[in-house]
């Protein structure tokens, strides 16, 4: 594993430490067990960092295991994206990558073992009938009329299910536990269902597939997992997890522990909802930079270091809580502030013409790549008679406190000269299309008037040398901090992306995919890893320089 050890304590670290100290375990084995039915999201990052981090910090190992028990919803694309995301986040499973489907033969044999012990039976009830018979939280369930079939009949039916003799939905295998249990999960849960579909990992071998609750704990047992860590919604499943382990001849008995899942504002963490966004065309795929998936965050420009820092800051506990999106954004700001070189980019160009500057002249100025890190070096930037500035940096009738460019007002062009606005050019509709200025030639760095003070400094790009490039201004996908309910999609932010043609420093022409940069005064940006081409980068805004969402009315 490539990540740094962490020393932040939590209740799970304390449990592991005590188990090792007492000799209960000589080494710890954890696992990260995603279902390959979608891309991993930021909530999974918390589990990844926890499971791999514990193994790293205590000298154990962490397995990557695909809990691939439903071939209808699983795809090879999801498997590959999961492997890529875990690796990108900075963790290495070594030779310990497994699939629950690797254990299907063993799981089947153990299912027959339960049948032979009278602890499992084949049921003909439909899924709807099974729900009706299960009862409620206040009323016990009702036994299926097929619950007391003989061992011989159950084994015969189960083997015929395996051979594909029966149609989907016609029969299931259920554990025979207690229909009156106060824990709904113990009311004869389904262990196997019939699915006539090929499996992405094991092909056409099976016509029956185990349920997650059955496969999961036994996979842990086969792999020798010591600490089976999951989120709090599985706390009520723990008695079932333990029932299977107690009633099967498993080689090892892991222990399940639960922690609170990540709930992030302005986002949805349900893979079902994320899939719906993709299928409905609300986003451009699972890796759309507005999505909370790890591939989406990566494409947007988030660094693995910033996500690991975020997971460390939110901590690990047993109380569900909401985490502000602003904290995730602040983590990437802090990381990129340290590592991202600076450049100038004009997102909404307005031409500025310096009337007393020679038409054929080009000046070159030296600019720091990072104001606090001289070791990152400098770059040359060209300056000529015509430059682009931001439309927002000019106001024909300035309001009080506006210290940028206005008629009769001076401003410094960053790393260059002081200019004074003398006139404007307008189109037929009265919109300003060009501003005219004069410059003070003595005000450049090293010039006799370099120290002359003005109230405002703005960025610019030489019109003659500028690179025109597509820039995507991404924002939060939802306008409501808690998109929920049946109409959760009504909370989608209609301004979550704006595409502009910006004018950039020419040195950005050959930006490599995933190269990150701060556009001065604008925010942090990343060359898109899919759409950028040599000589034609496409930049995605990762995050603004400040949190604009904290302002009233956002």
Please identify every residue annotated as catalytic: 35, 261, 271
How far apart, in Å, are the Cα atoms of 115 and each of 108, 153, 156, 435? 11, 10, 10, 85
- Cβ–Cβ < 8 Å for 467, 532: no
What residues have CB less than 8 Å from 348, skipping those under 6 apart? 390, 391, 392, 500, 502
Helices 304-314 + 42-57 axis angle, to 10: 80
Distance CA 130, CA 141 (A): 10
78 burial level (CB within 10 Å; 0-12, 13-18, 19+): buried
How far apart, in Å, are the Cα atoms of 109 and each of 115, 162, 179? 10, 12, 25
Helix, strand counts (H, E) of the chain:
12, 27
- Cβ–Cβ < 8 Å for 42, 298: no
Q: Which secondary structure element, helix H or strand E, spans residue 216, and what is its range?
A: helix 212-223
Distance CA 335, CA 309 (A): 9
**Cα 56 → chain centroid:** 22
- Cβ–Cβ < 8 Å for 532, 538: yes
Lateral strand order in the sheet of 538-544: 342-343, 516-519, 523-527, 538-544, 467-474, 497-504, 345-346
Tell whether the torsion through CA atoms of 138, 139, 140 and 143 is positive or negative.
negative
- Cβ–Cβ < 8 Å for 360, 370: no
Within 10 angstroms of residue 360's Cβ, the number of other Cβ atoms is 6
Coil, helix or strand at residue 111: helix
């Amino acid at each position: 594993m490539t990540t740094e050890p962490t020393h932040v304590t939590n209740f799970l670290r304390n449990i592991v430490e005590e188990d090792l100290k007492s000799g209960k375990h000589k080494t710890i084995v954890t696992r990260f067990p995603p279902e390959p039915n979608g891309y991993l999201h930021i909530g999974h990052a918390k589990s990844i960092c926890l499971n791999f981090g514990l193994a790293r910090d205590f000298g154990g190992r962490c397995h990557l295991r695909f809990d691939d028990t439903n071939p209808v919803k699983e795809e090879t694309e999801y498997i590959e994206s999961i492997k890529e995301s875990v690796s990108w986040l900075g963790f290495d499973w070594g030779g310990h990558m497994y699939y629950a489907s690797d254990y299907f033969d063993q799981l089947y044999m153990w299912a027959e073992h339960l049948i032979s012990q009278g602890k499992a039976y084949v049921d003909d009830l439909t899924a709807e009938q099974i729900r009706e018979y299960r009862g409620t939280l206040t009323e016990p369930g009702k036994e299926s009329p097929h619950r007391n079939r003989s061992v011989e009949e159950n084994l015969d039916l189960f083997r015929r299910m395996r051979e594909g003799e029966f149609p989907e939905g016609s029969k299931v295998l259920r554990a025979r536990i207690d229909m009156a249990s106060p824990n709904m999960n113990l009311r004869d849960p389904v262990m196997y269902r019939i699915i006539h579909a090929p499996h992405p990992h094991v092909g056409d071998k099976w016509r029956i597939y185990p349920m997650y609750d059955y496969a999961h704990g036994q996979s842990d047992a086969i792999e020798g997992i010591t600490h089976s860590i999951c989120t709090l919604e599985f706390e009520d499943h723990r008695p079932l997890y333990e029932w299977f382990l107690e009633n099967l001849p498993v080689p090892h008995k892991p222990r399940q522990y639960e922690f609170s899942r990540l709930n992030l504002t302005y986002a949805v963490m349900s893979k079902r909802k994320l899939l719906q966004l993709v299928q409905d065309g609300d986003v451009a795929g699972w890796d759309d930079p507005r999505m909370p998936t790890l591939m989406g965050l990566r494409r947007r420009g988030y660094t693995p270091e910033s996500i690991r820092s975020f997971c460390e800051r939110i901590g690990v506990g047993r109380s569900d809580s909401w985490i502000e999106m602003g904290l995730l954004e602040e983590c990437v700001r802090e990381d990129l502030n340290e590592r991202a070189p600076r450049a100038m980019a004009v997102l909404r160009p307005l031409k500025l013409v310096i009337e007393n500057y020679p038409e054929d002249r080009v000046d070159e100025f030296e600019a720091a790549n990072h104001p606090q890190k001289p070791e990152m070096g400098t770059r040359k930037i060209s300056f000529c008679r015509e430059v682009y500035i931001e439309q927002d940096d000019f106001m024909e009738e300035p309001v009080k406190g506006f210290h940028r460019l206005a008629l009769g007002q001076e401003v410094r062009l960053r790393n260059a000269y002081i200019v004074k606005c003398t006139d404007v050019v307008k189109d037929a509709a009265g919109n300003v299309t060009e501003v005219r200025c004069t410059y003070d030639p003595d005000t450049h760095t090293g010039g006799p008037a370099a120290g002359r003070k003005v109230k405002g400094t703005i960025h610019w790009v030489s019109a003659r040398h500028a690179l025109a490039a597509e820039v995507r201004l991404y924002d939060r996908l939802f306008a409501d901090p808690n998109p929920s309910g049946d109409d959760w999609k009504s909370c989608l932010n209609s301004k979550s992306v704006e595409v502009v043609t910006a004018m950039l420093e020419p040195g950005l022409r050959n930006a490599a995919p995933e190269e990150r940069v701060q556009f001065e005064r604008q925010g942090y940006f990343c060359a898109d890893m899919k759409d950028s081409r040599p000589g034609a980068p496409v930049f995605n805004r990762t995050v603004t320089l400040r949190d604009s969402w904290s302002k009233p009315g956002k």
